[in-house]
Amino acid sequence: GGVSGNAGLFASATDLAKMMQMYMQYGVYDGKRYFSEQIVKEFIRVQYPKNDNRRGLGFDKPLLNNSELTLEDAYPAPEVSPESFGHSGFTGTFVWADPQNQLVYIFLSNRVNPTRDNRNLYRMNIRSAVQQVFYQATLPIE
């Protein structure tokens, strides 16, 4: 792992799904409490809404008008709920939890292969495009 708080988490998709499920359940996983509900709610709430800043503490939140945007302009996919939260990593990872829809999305890749200059994952918006397909295939059609 790394030495800073924003990088260096290495885990399997299964373990990341468990971690995000625990956050989505406000600190509880498999019947055991790991964090208080109050702490998790503080982590995942928008910290500076008056500045149009969508960030929580350690987590991203959807853009403030995300559901009104196209896939190209949204972050993440437009289908996520405003209550959802997650993180997109520099190396191509993406984890997202959506309490309203009871979904956890994990995308693991190696964007920095063969070099860190490889920006195809960003340029092609692959993570959000796959997330959109995931939501469309999982949620009922309205």
How does the average pLDDT of the chain come out, rounded?
Answer: 88
4 pLDDT higher than 60 = no
Q: Which amino acid is at 42?
A: E
Question: Residue 8's pLDDT is what?
Answer: 64
- Residue of 126, 130, 132, 120 whose CA lies nearest to 66: 132
**Rounded to 5°, angle at Cα 106 from 18 and 110:** 125
Distance from C-alpha of 68 to C-alpha of 115, rounded to nearest angstrom? 35
By mean pLDDT, which of 3-12, 73-82, 120-129 is the weakest? 3-12
* 82 CB-contact burial (10 Å; exposed 0-12 / middle 13-18 / buried 19+): middle
Question: Residue 93's pLDDT is what?
Answer: 85
139 pLDDT higher than 90 = no
Domains of the chain: 13-138 (3.40.710.10)
Mean pLDDT across 46-72:
88
Q: What are phi and psi of 43, to 5 degrees?
A: -60, -40
Mean pLDDT across 47-66:
86
